[in-house]
Amino acid sequence: MNVFRLTDARTRALTEVQPTGRRLLRVCVHAPAAPGGQSDLLRVLLVADVVARAADLQDVHAVVLVALADASAQTVARLKDEVAALNIHPPGEFTTTAEIAAAPAGTVALHIAGSGALPAVPPATPLIEVGPVQPPDALTRADAEPLAARLVLLTAGYRAPATLTVPALAEARATLEHWRHQVATWATLSSRPIHAPTQQLCRDALAEDLDSGRVVSALHRFAADPDVPEGAKFETFAHLDRILGLDLARDIGRI
């Protein structure tokens, strides 16, 4: 597995994240303790989802655990519905904050928490802090295209606060529509190999502090590059969407 280097919230230094086993990466998400923190929790889960997706493409099985103050069946069911709307892969396990605190050191490779009070975790295990979402209910409101919110959050650095404004969401929806139309069109043409330079640039960006915004910017440039065969654009977009999770192949067969 290529090493992730993420900014540890305690030292503010880039820290390597290594699997807990040869082919296993256990990631623990800590629910924010602040009232009204559901959107913040969903953003933390989104960051964990990108880590897990990137690991899976390197043949490393990623398991996401969610530590909740209340792990009741009702709370878990509601959270599962909310993560599904954002195309976040279902977490592998739901547990309580107390159980995670009592777990032996080394059982988790990476802890991810929302902004504010950080959980007490072993000092040798990386802990990253995800910025808050504004407005606080932005990710729990009904939206005709929830993946527009996912794109806005991916474009922002995970440590920075993210504001889901009406113009930002409208622009993201337009981008998704445009990319999906392009991918559906490219799918009708002769396939070509994945564009290796773009693939490597995106892998490097994710490995170095999970810079998904750099990946989004690279795709904007790549889609407009007249020198790249459209078959290669299709394969590259389809490959990278396995990490971004934007459902870019949704319109294939409709055009």
Q: Which pLDDT score, from 0 to 100, does residue 215 have?
A: 96
| Strand, helix or coil for residue 238 | helix
Q: Phi-psi region for residue 141, left (φ > 0), alpha (ψ -120 to 50) or beta?
A: beta
Indicate whether 207 and 193 sit together in one domain: yes
CA distance 49 to 27: 10
On whether both 124 and 233 belong to a single domain, the answer is no
Alpha helices in 107-229 (DSSP H): 146-155, 166-186, 196-207, 212-223
Q: Which of 142, 165, 180 is the last residue of a domain?
A: 142
Domain count, the chain: 2
pLDDT score of 112 more than 70: yes
**If you average pLDDT over residues 230-252, what whole number do you get?**
96
Kindly report, residue by residue over 37-55, the tens digit of the pLDDT. 788 999 999 999 999 999 9
Q: What is the mean pLDDT of residues 67-79?
A: 86
- 132 and 153 inside one domain: no
Q: Are residues 136 and 154 in the same domain?
A: no
pTM over cut 0.85: yes
Residue 250: pLDDT band (50, 70, 90) is: very high
Residue 70: pLDDT band by 50, 70, 90 thresholds? confident
Are 102 and 129 members of one domain?
yes
**Host domain of residue 112:** 4-142
